[in-house]
Structure formats: C-alpha cells, structure tokens
Structure 1
Amino acid sequence: MVKKFYFVIILTSQGYIMKLSYLLEMESPETHFFRVTMTIEDYSEDNMSVTMPAWTPGSYEIMDFARHVRKIKAAALTGENIELSKKDKSTWKVANGEFRDVKITYEVFAHDLSVHTSHLDSSHGYLNGTNIFLYIEGYKDQTAELIIKPWGDWKISTGLEKVGDFRYRATNFDILVDSPIEIGNHRSLFFNVEGKEHEIVLYGHGNENEEKIKADIHKTVEAYLKIFGHLPYKRYVFIFHLLSEEDSGGGLEHLNSTTIDVDRFTFAPFESYKKFLSVVSHEYFHLWNVKRIRPAELGPFNYKEENYTSMLWMAEGFTNYYGRMMLLRSGLLTQKDFLKNFMETVRFYEMQPGRLITSAYESSFDAWIKLYRPGPNNFNSYISYYTKGDMLGFLLNVRMIEATKGQKSLDDLYRHLFDKYNKDGKGYTEKDLLLAIREVTGTDFTDFYARFVKSTDPIDFQSELEKLGISIKKGFRNAEEFPEGSPYLGSIFRNGSRNTVETVIEGSPAFKSGLSPGDEVVAINGYRFSDRFLKPIREDYKKLKVEKLTDFRSGETVRIHLFRKGILMDIETKLEDPIPDLYEAVIRDAPTERQKLFLDKFLKG
C-alpha cells in the first residue's frame, strides 16, 4: 500500500498553511481510466474553483481536456459530501463553506496516444499533466505532491523531482504538468554528461539499436553543451514511443524532458533514422529556446484559452534550424547531407505561395486557427512558422556573421539571451530581441525585422548563400530518365486518401482548370490514376504527394476524370513547364578568404 505524504508549501494571505497532493491510480488499465484523488488541506476560503486545462503548452491547439473527465465528486476529509457544480466547460465550483480540508475525486478517460495527450491500456500508462490534473484557480503557484500507484510491477519514468517511493514533488502547477510520465515495463537506457543523468525511455519495439541510439543522443547533448557551456537541469528524460506508421508522430518539449512518437521502423536505413535524430535535436534545443528563453506571452500560462504570441517563428522555427545544424556539429550528419537537407527545405519553402501572403509574425499569431486547423487553402494563403522561422534562422545567422565580419553568429545571440532572460524567468518581447541582436552585433536590425518578420519580403537565397561561397543549382530528380522533369499540374494529394485532392496551388494549371480540394481523381486521359502519377512533395515527408506526369508533355492538354461529391466529371487543363524539384548546394572551388571565414562561422558557430 502506498502511504500518503503531504508536503508543506506556502502561506496564504490569511496565514493558513495549505497542503496539496494528488494520488494517481490505474486499477484496471485495460479500461483506459486514470483515477485521481486531489486532496487540499487548510484551504482558507469558503468557495473553490478547480479547472482542467483546455490545451497543453507547446501544442497551440484548444483540445478541451475536461471532456474526458467523469465521476467528479467533492467531500470533506471528515466524510461529508460537498456540493460541486459546473461553472464553464473546464471549471467546477466547489461549495466547501466551512470545510477547510477537501478531497476531490474523478476519473479521466485516456485512450489517445500522442505527445500532447494521455494513454492507458494493459501495456503501459503515459500522461501529460494538462490532460489529467485539475488546478485550483488562483493557486497555480502552489507546491504539490504527486503519489503514483502503478499497476502491478510497472515502473515510473519522469522528470519530476522524486522524494520517495512512488512520490514526486512539483514546485507549482506549471512544473507538475510540464513533466510527462511513462509508467510500465518500458526499457530505460542511461548516460551521463556534465555529471548529470540522462534517461532514454523506450516503449515498444522496432528496428532500433539501443547502443547506437544512446551513443548518438549522447553526442547531440554534448554538442549543445559546447554552445552554452552548461546544462540547466539536474536530470533529463527522453521518452520515445515506438508506434505503427499509421499513428501520429511528432515531439513535444518540456522543461527537463521530451516525448517523441516515431514509426517503430524508423531507425534504419539512415535516411529514415536521421529524421528521428533531427526531431530529438529539435526537442532537446527547446530546453533553452522556449523553456528558458521564451516569448513573454508563453508563461505564466493561461490554461483556459489561447495564449497568443507573434514570436513562434523564433520559438519553433529557429529550433527547427538548430535541430538540423546540431546534427552536423555532433558529427551525425555530413556537411553534404546537411546542405542537401537544407536545400530541400528551401525548395519546399519556395513552392508555397503562402510565404508571400502571410508574414512570420502573422503565422505565429494565427497558429491556433491555422496551423493546427488547416484548411484546403492553407498552402496558398498561410505558411507554417516552423518553415518560415527555419528560413529566418538561416537568414539572421548569415546577416549577423556578415555584420560582425565573421566574429558573431546566432549562437552568440542565444548565449546572450540565456544570460539575460533565464535568471529572472522573464520572457522577451520584440523590442527586447532587437536590442539583444544590437548588443551582440553592434548593428540595428530593425529594418530586417520589418522586412522579413513583420512583412513578406522574399528571401534571395542565392545572394545570401553567395556570402558563404555557395550557389544553388536547380534541376530535376531522375534527370537521367527525365531530363526535363515532369509537366506541371499543381495538385497536392494526401497519402492514402484514394487520390483525393488535398489542395490546389494557386495560379497552377490545376487551379485554372477548376480542380478542387476534395475531388477524387480516377484517371487522366482515360488511364487509371495511381501512384505512378505521384511523388512525395519533399524527400523527408510522406504525408503529402504531388503529381508526377512523366508520361505527358508540357503544353499538352489532358482530360482529368474525377468524382466530385459522388458525381463523375471531366475537366481539361493544359500542362505547363515543370518547376525544379531538386535544389543542390554547390560550394565554390576557390572561395574568397571572406567566404571561407563566413562559411566556417556559419557551420561551426
């Protein structure tokens, strides 16, 4: 039996010492219900409101986790029932009156295995605190203790501070819910850097090589340590869920841990494995960028509604940029592969009309309604702050190197921001960021910010790369067989969707002909439409495909046979000249001394 322990925390304004604890149980994991008992002692007020968050930090989407709560009850510790009523979609009012010691019990249905939700079945339990734990309104700063009663012989892995067997402590609600928990018979691998323990949690099996994963993540951690000179945590936990290809993937950052969901067979060949390493690098860099160096709006959190910020292009986009860069610096990616991956991102960026419609500033602010709730016209009107921010990370790095004649880079900006904003926990504003860049470089970047962050000025990649002694060569894949590429149609399909059009690129032949999102293409010129006519939209992305019409010629008029809302239709369109689907970085044979200096700073920081 687990013995309860309550930790004394803060004084209320009336002088009471309030104690708060949560007991987490999973008596029948196959039913997918976590049971939570929330105990409050010495509460000083006559009424209480408790709330379940509506979203989880790092995933800017309202998910209304309260919809999974049931059987919620309140009682005094002496046994009397206490009236409890719903205040709004996420909040309950507790009429505790004269009772100062209150117990709230409830169940949470957890059957969604993703990085931002919770899951419980007979194989394991995984939880994000935002999905599971209520908080007392007005008391999010309250220290709390968590007692976990695992099923059977299951073990527990989490970044929370351990204070005893199955007992953990969080200094406030933000810390409690920012510490995901894996409970089960998972495997744990350990390594140390700077005398600090790192745990790798593996749930599931696939084609993984445990020792290689551990060695490669070790290298990644050491590479980041070289930038900052110190690891700002006592212990770090990597939680990896090895799932089927059909399951949702992705990663989510936390203060001293991360959760990453991947295809269980992603660990070989290397082309697949490096995508996994890139996600690991991305999420690990978040422990600085977002968790300790953050936009002012991202903390303290309002868990009931959207928390708007215009700075996600830096918070997420720059993290994308570093995720790739640090694989190079850790020796896990060759310079050739690094440049190949970067150029593929540039190509993908330039094929999106939305880059010239939506600024990085706007993209960030609209994350709640556009990135996580994409419409069929997103490709034309919106661009992800991940992608646009990635490109701005490159651009700012090059411009900082240029402004300081090769002496300073983006690394220096992050070291400066960490020193300046991590100590007091305050976030930065736009003005703060511009001031920091000026302090590092001695140059005013206000015009840069206005043109490339708040507006949609195109980036001249050829001109910027030339500063590093690199030029862009544009061409076509499979040029040996199809030297002129595939004629351009401009339709995008979602993989595995019965050849249903996901979106149509504005201004393309498909757009001009009236091909529409939702159309199911069944044939072209009478020939059955199949994977023969499709190719991935980018090398490292399986979900979206574009047409590959190598059987036709530019200028040719083709008839597209399709179903629209169950009605068979034909439309005609004239194919246009192909657009390059391959960008290659070519390094100068004889770069100038300035170019050599700049490239070295760009690659090594």
Structure 2
Amino acid sequence: MHYKIAVTKPESHFLNITWTIPGIDQDVIEIQLPAWRPGRYEIQNFAKNIQFIEASSKEGKKLIIEKITKDRWRIDTQGETVVQVTYNYFAAIQNAGSSYVDEELWYLNFINFCMYPEGRIDDPFTIDLELPGPWHIACGLSKQGNRLSAQNFYQLVDSPLLASATIQHNAYEVRGVKFHIWMHGNLKPNWKRIERDFRRFSREQIATMGEFPEDEYHFLNLILPTAFYHGVEHHNSTMVVLGPDDEGEGLYTDLLGVSSHELFHAWNIIRIRPEELLPYDFTKENYFQTCFVAEGCTTYYGDLFLKRAGVFDEKAYIKELQVYMKRHFENSAEASQSLIESSFDLWLDGYERGIPNRKVSVYHKGALAALILDLYLRRKSNHRQSLDKVMQLLWERFGKPFVGYSLQDYMNIVEEVAGEPVGWYWDECIMGNEPLENRLNEVLSFVGLQMTIFSNGNVQLNVHEDFKAQLQRSIWLSTTQQLTPSEEEE
C-alpha cells in the first residue's frame, strides 16, 4: 500500500493525502483510522481533523464511501482491484504526538492520519513525501530519497518524522549502535557537550540491559520559543518537544532528562510490553494494570541513569528525586486509588488533573514505588541484587522474544530476585493506597538520605553526615564505572 503526501498551501496547515490500496478482492472494504496513539493511553479522535474524504478507482471513477463509526469508513469497490482514497488532514499542533506543517517544517506523526484496511494491518507500506525542496528527513523508517518504507502498519505509525531545510544533525556510536540527534528550532547546539552526555547515558543503559533492541536510533527534537516539555517513545526513535529556546541550563537539563527517559522506553514498553498491548488494537481502549512498570520504572531510571553515567552529579540527582516526591505528596498523597487502579484508568482521565484525592500519577508514584523496590533489594543484598536484575529478566523472558507480560509475571520476577515473598510491597505500594512516607524513609536511610515533608507540600532530602561517603559510593553504583579507556572513547 502506498501513501503520497503533499502540502499545497503551507499557510493552511493541511496535508493532502492520496492513499492507494492494491490487491482488493472484495466487493466491500473497511478502512480504519487509529483512535489513539502508543505512548498516550487515551482516546484522541484524530478523525476530527479530516476535512473531506473520497474514494475512486485507479482511473478516477468515484466510489461510494460511507462513514460507519467516528473513525471507520466502508467503501463499495464495485469490482475494482485498486482503490484510491483522497483526503486531507489539519496539521497545526506542535506537541510530541501531533502533526504540524508550514513553510519551514513538516512534522508528521503518521498515527494521526494514516489508515489501514481491515485485515491488512500487517501489509507493507510506502510513503512518498512531496517536499518543497532538498530538505533533510529525520525518521526511523527506511529511506530512499523522499520515499519511506515500513514493514507493516505498526512500524509506520510508530515512526514520527521531521523534515526541513534547516534541521541540524549529529551522531555517535555505542557498542555498534548508531544514534542520531536531530534538532529543529532557533538554537545553536553545543554538539560536543551533547554528544558527550548522550553517549554516556546511552552506554550506561546498554551496559545495564546487556544489549540494545535496534541497530539505529533517532532522537528527534523540536525546540519551541515557548515553554514546553513533552516526549513520546517509538520503536527506534523518540519525539521530543521542548522550550523555550533560550539555550539556558534549564533547557539542557530538560533535554537530558526526557532523552534518557525515552531511550529506556526502547526496552521498557516498546519491547517489554504488557500482554494487553500486544498487539496494539488501535480501534478502542487497551486497558492494562501495569503502567506503573511501563512509566513509573522508566521515570525512575531516566534520571538514575544520568547519575550513574556521570552526567548528573549527586546534587542534581537528589534535586530530581525531590521533584517526584513533591509532585506525589503535594497532589495525590491521600488519593483513594492504587497504582493498579490508576494504571487502568489512564484511559478515563489519566492525563487530566481530575477530581480531588482520586487518582495517583503512574509516573510520580510509580517512580517512588520503583525507588522503594530498588533500594529494598539493594539493602537486602548489599547491592548484589536490584531493580536492574528485575528489568534484565523482563527483557530476557518477555522483551527479547517480544511476548507480553502480565502483572503476575512482574510479581513473580520481583520475588524471584528478592528471594522471598514481598507481600508488604504489593499491598502497600502497588495495590493499596497507603502513604509512602515511612517506606521511603526506611529504604532511603540505607543510602544516607532522609525525606522531610513540610505542611505546604514541599519535600526536602537531607544527607546524614555519617553517611556522606556511603552516599557518594552508592548513588546507585555505575554499570560502566569499570570501562576500559578504549570503551570510554568509543
């Protein structure tokens, strides 16, 4: 199947799309536009951005096309073996899951506007981009000139694209994997610093997990003049939107934090995926209970990898821990829902503030639950076991063979690594709504830290004087601290 995408009037922000469907042997076919996108577990109704749609034969004969749900159409093929679907899409939003076009930039998330015929989601797809000039294309798909190729619809819609004449690019290699960094916006990147820090956290993550799932990876960055912070994981890339473009330390810290977080998703959710999401059903909600693993563990590891890789120092890492703690205790310390329940309810209102004291953040409380488990395992084994081992076993048993895991699978692996039942952890931290303050301070004491929660919701982490040396040694150890000089310069 083939898509042709053009933008005849960039100021209008409309994509003009021609989709050719060959090999038809039915009198009626149904075509489906996704109702949601991976990485954002809520119904998004992309069809509201389609202004018109029509179907025709290869020779241009009009065919009857009827809308049968909010994002599904039925076409009477009238015996035609090839059908063309022509429509447009309003691409005028700049966040990490949207699409946007103007005179200088094409930013495309194919999940927003590409469709598949019922029963043919595994067919290969090609896309021709009618770009206005010799623009650079940043995308994880296979590319020849302005033509992109995807093995199936799942790969197509999990591969965002930036195209522009002014996009900036750099690359580095770690353990045979080539990493690309793409930047679009009004800034002059300090590529030497960026490459050094990105190389460090990439190497730390690969060393921890043992291997990288892909041969190549793309960091796609759209830098805006206004304040913004958003990232979305994809199968061999991430789309990040940040701002403002003042090139200050705040922007750079945000870039490091979101990039490390999204890179760990290359294992955790892209491949280590809950069984309820394998495969994705783009027509409806895909309810699952383990987003505290998918997002909570990833949020925890994103900053921890920066510290273990030497990108963040101790002070910077503790500051980030305080942020997670403050957001949890300020917003949802008294929430009635557990992490299990709030994972399931992402599809209901997980990305909205919601009513008071109902839900918790799978990101913030999920990260604190991951911290508790990690430090518990480390204290029990004097760092010989940790959450690292849990993630490694998830990768080996579920991610690498690409079979979905269940909540029970996760619980079994945790208790295997712990060497004992940890019913207190499931009851208090995951399946219950108990306050986490006592459990946090219990495990934080192992690394010389103590958390204080003030009445205004602020959180402070203090270092015990007697534990400063221990803290310096153990936050939280580095997988790559024993690198040889050749590996350090890789």
Could you list the runs of 5+ residues in structure 1 that have no partner in the other structure? 1-19, 476-577
In 1, the alpha carbon distance for the partners of 2:275 and 2:266 equals 16
In 2, the alpha carbon distance for the partners of 1:266 and 1:439 equals 48
| Larger Rg, first or second structure (1 or 2) | 1
- Aligned with residue 94 of structure 1, among 68, 75, 79: 75
Could you list the runs of 5+ residues in structure 2 that have no partner in the other structure? 480-490
Judge conservation of contact 1:240–1:260 (CA < 8 Å) in 2.
yes
| 3-state SS of paired residue (1:236) | strand
1:108 aligns with 2:85: no
Distance 1:590 1:291, change over 3 A: closer
Q: Give the aligned partner of residue 150 of structure 2.
A: 170
Judge conservation of contact 2:244–2:251 (CA < 8 Å) in 1.
no
In 1, the alpha carbon distance for the partners of 2:418 and 2:169 equals 44
Judge conservation of contact 1:55–1:63 (CA < 8 Å) in 2.
yes
Q: Give the aligned partner of residue 138 of structure 1.
A: 119
- Aligned with residue 30 of structure 1, among 8, 11, 18: 11
In 2, the alpha carbon distance for the partners of 1:446 and 1:100 equals 59
Deviations 1:12-68 (A, max 9, x none): xxxxxxxx1212222332221112221122122221111111211111222211111
| 3-state SS of paired residue (2:254) | helix
- Aligned with residue 157 of structure 1, among 108, 117, 138: 138
1:311-460 equivalences under 5 Å are 311-375=290-354, 377-378=355-356, 380-459=357-436, 460=438
What amino acid is aligned across from residue 166 of structure 1 in structure 2? N
Q: Give the structure-2-normalised TM-score.
A: 0.91
Q: Give the aligned partner of residue 161 of structure 2.
A: 181
Judge conservation of contact 1:125–1:182 (CA < 8 Å) in 2.
yes
In 2, the alpha carbon distance for the partners of 1:590 and 1:39 equals 66
- Aligned with residue 54 of structure 1, among 35, 59, 70: 35
Deviations 1:190-235 (A, max 9, x none): 2222233222111111364233223221222111111122221121
- Aligned with residue 211 of structure 2, among 230, 234, 245: 230
In 2, the alpha carbon distance for the partners of 1:145 and 1:417 equals 33
In 2, the alpha carbon distance for the partners of 1:78 and 1:118 equals 31
- Aligned with residue 256 of structure 1, among 212, 215, 236: 236
- Aligned with residue 258 of structure 2, among 274, 279, 282: 279
- Aligned with residue 445 of structure 2, among 466, 488, 492: 466
What amino acid is aligned across from residue 46 of structure 1 in structure 2? D
State the number of aligned residues.
476
Deviations 1:490-520 (A, max 9, x none): xxxxxxxxxxxxxxxxxxxxxxxxxxxxxxx
Judge conservation of contact 2:221–2:241 (CA < 8 Å) in 1.
yes
In 2, the alpha carbon distance for the partners of 1:190 and 1:604 equals 24
Q: Give the aligned partner of residue 488 of structure 2.
A: none
- Aligned with residue 274 of structure 2, among 295, 303, 315: 295
Distance 1:354 1:469, change over 3 A: closer
Residue 596 of structure 1: how far off its partner (Å): 4.7
Judge conservation of contact 2:330–2:457 (CA < 8 Å) in 1.
no
| 3-state SS of paired residue (2:217) | strand
Q: Give the aligned partner of residue 486 of structure 2.
A: none
What amino acid is aligned across from residue 179 of structure 1 in structure 2? S
In 1, the alpha carbon distance for the partners of 2:453 and 2:125 equals 57
Q: Give the aligned partner of residue 600 of structure 1.
A: 474
| 3-state SS of paired residue (1:589) | helix
Distance 1:359 1:21, change over 3 A: same
Judge conservation of contact 1:207–1:265 (CA < 8 Å) in 2.
no
Judge conservation of contact 2:35–2:284 (CA < 8 Å) in 1.
yes
| 3-state SS of paired residue (2:11) | helix
In 2, the alpha carbon distance for the partners of 1:452 and 1:156 equals 44
Distance 1:292 1:279, change over 3 A: same
In 2, the alpha carbon distance for the partners of 1:323 and 1:95 equals 50
Distance 1:27 1:214, change over 3 A: farther
In 1, the alpha carbon distance for the partners of 2:327 and 2:52 equals 49
| 3-state SS of paired residue (1:238) | strand
In 1, the alpha carbon distance for the partners of 2:108 and 2:415 equals 42
Deviations 1:469-498 (A, max 9, x none): 3333567xxxxxxxxxxxxxxxxxxxxxxx
Distance 1:253 1:353, change over 3 A: closer
Q: Give the aligned partner of residue 586 of structure 1.
A: 463
Judge conservation of contact 1:349–1:387 (CA < 8 Å) in 2.
yes
Judge conservation of contact 1:349–1:355 (CA < 8 Å) in 2.
no
In 2, the alpha carbon distance for the partners of 1:35 and 1:585 equals 57
Residue 338 of structure 1: how far off its partner (Å): 1.1
Distance 1:473 1:67, change over 3 A: closer
| 3-state SS of paired residue (2:51) | strand
Deviations 1:397-434 (A, max 9, x none): 11222343431111111111111112332111011111
Distance 1:117 1:100, change over 3 A: same
1:513-552 equivalences under 5 Å are none
| 3-state SS of paired residue (2:202) | helix
Residue 599 of structure 1: how far off its partner (Å): 6.8
Residue 84 of structure 1: how far off its partner (Å): 0.7
Q: Which has the higher contact order (CA 8 A, sep 6+)?
A: 2
What amino acid is aligned across from residue 26 of structure 1 in structure 2? V
In 1, the alpha carbon distance for the partners of 2:294 and 2:108 equals 24
- % identical equivalent positions: 29
What amino acid is aligned across from residue 258 of structure 1 in structure 2? T
In 1, the alpha carbon distance for the partners of 2:90 and 2:198 equals 34
| 3-state SS of paired residue (2:466) | coil
What amino acid is aligned across from residue 30 of structure 1 in structure 2? E
Structure 1 range deviating more: 315-324 or 220-229:
220-229
Residue 601 of structure 1: how far off its partner (Å): 7.5
Residue 318 of structure 1: how far off its partner (Å): 1.0
Decide which structure has greater helix share: 2
In 2, the alpha carbon distance for the partners of 1:441 and 1:62 equals 38
1:490-501 equivalences under 5 Å are none
In 2, the alpha carbon distance for the partners of 1:266 and 1:322 equals 27
Judge conservation of contact 1:471–1:585 (CA < 8 Å) in 2.
yes
Judge conservation of contact 1:266–1:276 (CA < 8 Å) in 2.
no
In 1, the alpha carbon distance for the partners of 2:52 and 2:328 equals 48
Distance 1:588 1:34, change over 3 A: same
What amino acid is aligned across from residue 251 of structure 1 in structure 2? G
1:562-577 equivalences under 5 Å are none
In 1, the alpha carbon distance for the partners of 2:174 and 2:400 equals 23
1:503-518 equivalences under 5 Å are none
Judge conservation of contact 1:470–1:586 (CA < 8 Å) in 2.
yes
What amino acid is aligned across from residue 245 of structure 2 in structure 1? F
